[in-house]
């Protein structure tokens, strides 16, 4: 059956709601590592990787083999009905690799939003407190609690309220736009004076590098100050590593870049190489706060996804993907920095490891230039390169290439990127 993109779009518009926004006007037929092909045979280089899900690339042979092997055994029992050894093995491996020398435990779920929801549940159960502090620009999911925590209104929160109570926001450090670490910490102290007693705060949740918010890394002094604040007031510190985990930042977890240990971590996305799996990793005493039956889910810790995740951890080690992330990320940053003289719209190039972003602003200012950013993305797509836009002002391009990408394909993508930025500058002039 020879499907056409236009025909599928017509069927999609009739069968699915507009609230599920779709970036591309073509439909995937197959994919391999960092490349995918649509139903009409066109090839694309994938610098989106399913929104940071395919750090190990599309259809890595070891992941495919692990899933096939599990398919020959069983596909589902519901772990909380009939458990299986692979769930326990994966939990042991993550407990061992997560930051901190203290005893840890891990519970598995299905999506990043579900992991965040459960991290908040665990924090509330452990502290007996209701309040949660999150940050502007943060993204924590599309569930009600996830939206309440998320610090961006459109499109995630508009029209979906009311949201759960006792959730408060402080500005995230953003030097380019005039928010210092001191400003952020002062805002938290003001929350304690004006909105919520710190003795009623269960947790502070933050992304070590904001994902949807614009790939802004949390300054080391900010993370240290959050840890100190939490220690002073008996608050739990939650690191949301849904997008930053599994070698993306040049470390297995982004928190390994800091001399600070969180009480809880949420993980998902590249954990299982494309299979739906998420988790909460945390201090054993905190993780045990919920009563039996308080955590779980029908598909939580699906055996096919767990098998894939065990393969992912092996691939990261065997192929040295943490080191690879830094090598590739440095090459992207060098390319973009070299273009700054020719493209004055490049206001900032940032990010640890392979979690790199470029922010575009009006030349000579810090005024976001969403139009220029969209032009770069559109022209790249026309040339066969998938790029994602993010940021509160939609003026940031984030690079989420598979860390397994072949050098020749990576070089091809960087050449396209350079061309489309130069073309966009010429149009803007």
pLDDT digits (tens, 9 = 90+) for 234-283: 999 999 999 999 999 999 999 999 999 999 999 999 999 999 999 999 99
- Mean pLDDT (whole number) for 319-330: 98
- Residue 287 shares a structural domain with residue 323: no
Question: CA 230 → CA 89, 123, 219, 227, 419, distances in Å?
Answer: 31, 12, 17, 5, 47
- Residue 16 shares a structural domain with residue 114: no
Q: Where are the alpha helices (DSSP H) in 300-355?
A: 303-318, 321-338
- Domain of 9 in residue numbering reads as 5-59+319-428
pLDDT digits (tens, 9 = 90+) for 9-34: 999 999 999 999 999 999 999 999 99
Last residue within a domain, chosen from 318, 344, 370: 318
pTM tops 0.85, yes or no = yes
Helix, strand, coil share (%) of the chain residues, nearest 5? 40, 20, 40
Q: Residue 193's domain is classified under what CATH number?
A: 3.40.640.10
- Residue 234 shares a structural domain with residue 340: no
Counting the structural domains of the chain, the total is 2
Q: Residue 353's domain is classified under what CATH number?
A: 3.90.1150.10
pLDDT value, residue 429: 76
Contact status, residue 385 vs residue 413, Cβ threshold 8 Å: yes
Rounded to a whole number, what is the distance in angstroms from the first to the last CA of the chain? Answer: 46
Cβ-based neighbours of 405, under 8 Å, separated by 6 or more: 33, 34, 57, 328, 413
């Amino acid at each position: 059956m020879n499907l056409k993109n236009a025909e599928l779009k017509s069927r999609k518009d009739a069968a699915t709601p507009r609230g599920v926004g779709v970036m591309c006007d073509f439909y995937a037929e197959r994919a391999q590592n960092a490349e995918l092909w649509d139903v009409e045979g066109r090839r694309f280089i994938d610098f989106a990787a399913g929104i940071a899900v395919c750090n190990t690339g599309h259809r890595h042979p070891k992941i495919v083999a692990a899933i096939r092997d599990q398919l020959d055994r069983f596909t589902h029992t519901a772990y909380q009905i009939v458990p299986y050894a692979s769930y326990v093995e994966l939990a042991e491996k993550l407990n061992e690799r997560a930051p901190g020398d203290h005893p840890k435990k891990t519970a598995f779920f299905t999506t990043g939003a579900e992991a965040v929801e459960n991290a908040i549940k665990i924090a509330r159960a452990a502290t007996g407190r209701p309040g949660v502090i999150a940050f502007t620009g943060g993204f924590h999911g599309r569930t009600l609690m996830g939206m309440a925590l998320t610090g961006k209104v459109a499109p995630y929160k508009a029209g979906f309220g009311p949201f759960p109570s006792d959730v408060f926001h402080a500005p995230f450090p953003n030097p380019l736009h005039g928010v210092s670490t001191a400003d952020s910490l002062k805002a938290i102290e003001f929350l304690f004076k004006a909105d919520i007693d710190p003795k009623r705060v269960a947790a502070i949740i933050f992304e070590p590098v904001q994902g949807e918010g614009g790939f802004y890394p949390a300054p080391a002094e900010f993370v240290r100050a959050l840890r100190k604040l939490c220690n002073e007031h008996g608050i739990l510190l939650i690191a949301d590593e849904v997008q930053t985990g599994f070698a993306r930042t040049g470390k297995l977890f982004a928190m390994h870049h800091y001399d600070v240990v969180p009480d809880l971590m949420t993980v998902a996305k590249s954990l299982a190489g494309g299979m739906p799996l998420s988790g909460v990793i945390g201090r054993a005493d905190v993780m045990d706060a919920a009563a039996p039956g308080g955590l779980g889910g029908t598909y939580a810790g699906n055996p096919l996804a767990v098998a894939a995740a065990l393969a992912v951890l092996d691939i990261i080690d065997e192929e040295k993907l943490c080191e690879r992330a830094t090598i590739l990320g440095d090459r992207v940053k060098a390319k973009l920095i070299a273009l700054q003289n020719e493209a004055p719209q490049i206001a900032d190039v940032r990010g640890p490891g392979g979690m790199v972003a470029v922010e575009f602003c009006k030349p000579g200012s810090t005024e976001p230039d969403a139009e220029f950013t969209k032009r770069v993305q559109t022209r790249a797509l026309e040339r066969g390169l998938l790029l994602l836009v993010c940021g509160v002002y939609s003026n940031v391009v984030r690079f989420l290439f598979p860390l397994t990408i072949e050098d020749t394909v990576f070089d091809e993508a960087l050449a396209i990127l350079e061309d489309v930025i130069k073309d966009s500058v010429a149009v803007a002039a």
